[in-house]
Structure 1
Amino acid sequence: MPTLVLLCGLLCDAQVWEPVRTRLPSPDDVRILAFPGFRTIEAMAAQVLDSVPGPLVLIGHSMGGRVALEAVRQAGDRVVGLGLANTGIHPTAPGEAAGRQTLIDRARSGGMEALAEAWLPPMMGASAERVAALMPALRAMVSANTRESYEGQIAALLARPDAETPLRGYKAPLLLLAAEQDRWSPPAQHEAMRDLAPQGELHVLADAGHMLPVERPEAVAQLISDWFVRHWPGD
């Protein structure tokens, strides 16, 4: 049986995936990996491959999706299943560096707490009540990062490797998870990924934004569980 590994995104740690992990059929067998202190997507992917032996099912959220695709490029024979949530495969867009620099400047001038206040709210898409309940823990998660680690992850994203080629050549099971209210990685990006890998199973969830795993953990866990059991039923 492959090991299911959940990969975290920018400024995120295990608490983004933990509500999903605990709802999966064998949560103790599931790994969560985050990437503080890294400065390249390539190094993040190598760390994933070095940390967990044997065949892998990688499900990446946001930046973690790009890490998963880079792991496919580095060791495609080991990645027997792939999940991509709230992510994309496009290269660096015009104006992207300037937009990210604005947030870096916010962190430099006001600290990581100020960054959390500016960065988190636009990414949320759940009900106001749900967002209010989630926000304290998410702010604390972002604020726990060092500015140096944040800038390193931004450098990694701006110098991100080609993600289209690994996806285009990927033939194993593929799960695509999008959120209707995700303005950062909208459903159209996931539809484009399915066009490149037609075996992809795409689900677009309502009442959620870019932080889908914490906004709709029950639904995400059910989709992952159903997909995993269908392809790797075990004994």
Structure 2
Amino acid sequence: MPTTLILLPGLVCDSATWGPQIQALSPRLRCHVADYGLCDSINAMAQHVLHTAPSQTFALAGHSMGGRVALEVLRLAPHRVHHLALLDTGTHPLPAGDAGARERAGRMALLQTAERKGMRAMAALWAKPMVHPAHHGTPVFEAVLDMLARSSPEQYAAQINALLNRPDAAPVLPTIRCPTLVLTGREDLWSPPEAHERMAAAIAGAQLCIVEQCGHMSMLEQPEVVNAAFESWLFK
């Protein structure tokens, strides 16, 4: 049975994004949430995770940007990861042409908002399409805003740089040999189910979970479903 679970947050997220999972799993696992500091590349984040891991081998779960960091950890040190979960994430690099230019412009516009008006103002713009409409105006949505507001424009800039220069992680998928969970929300507009179906198909024996009535912040939006998926992934 796993003894250490390293949890990798997404863009300017922190341990709060994994709160329900930590509460459910802490009696049986040592849960460690990575802090990327001002690392400004996916590789640097993965190297930091490996250097600060509290044990030599571990289970690893990454959400959104954290899923990309998890795949880079697998590329660098596959022997250290014995269970892997990829939540609401992707593998593709920045697209070429107009699509890439639109993504870059959108991210930089949000960064300018963070620098000029503060992180909470940025969060109010960024989080609305990320969270299922059923959660808008609820404590879940406020918790997401509070979490993003705890970060800084400097961290946001570093992590945006990492995402705009993200590597193509698709070649890592067929090399994965450990029990793997691939999970996303049915209504995740940024990391849609079809992409996760392709990821799961590329990983031998992967467990695919599509969470209903759920956007991008699956661990907070539908914690019971995610916790059940983690239970099956880790202990069965």
Q: Contact (CA 8 Å) 2:45, 2:69: kept in 1 or not?
A: yes
Alignment partner, residue 200 of structure 1:
206
Q: 1:54-87: CA deviations, max 9, x gaps?
A: 2121110000100100000110111111100000
State the identity %: 38
Q: Partner residue of 1:143?
A: 149
The within-5 A match list for 1:110-189 is 110-125=117-132, 127-128=134-135, 132-189=138-195
What residue is the counterpart of 1:65 in the other structure?
67
Match of 2:42 in 1: 41
Shift of 1:117: 0.9
Cα root mean square deviation, aligned: 1.6
Counterparts in 2 of 1:229 and 1:25: CA distance versus 1, 3 Å? farther
Asked if residue 76 in structure 1 is aligned to residue 78 in structure 2, the reply is yes
Give 1:47 deviation, angstroms. Answer: 1.4
Give the Å deviation of 1:127: 2.1
TM-score by length of 2: 0.91
Amino acid at match of 1:43: A
* Alignment partner of 2:89 out of 83, 87, 90: 87
- Residue correspondences, number: 229
**Native 8 Å contact 1:179 1:209 kept in 2:** yes
Q: CA deviation at 1:51?
A: 1.6
Residue 126 and residue 35 in structure 1: after superposition, are their counterparts in 2 closer, same or farther (change >3 A)? Answer: farther
Unaligned residue ranges in structure 2 (runs of 5+)? none
**TM-score under structure 1 normalisation?**
0.92
Give the Cα separation in 1 of the matches to 2:227 and 2:144. 19
Q: Which residue identity is paired with 1:6?
A: L
Deviation track 1:184-214 (CA, whole Å, cap 9, x = no partner) reads: 1011110110121141110001111000001
Could you report, residue by residue, the CA deviation over 1:105-151 in whole angstroms, capped at 9, with x for unpaired residues? 2212222121011011110016247x512122221211111101100
1:25 shift after superposition:
6.3
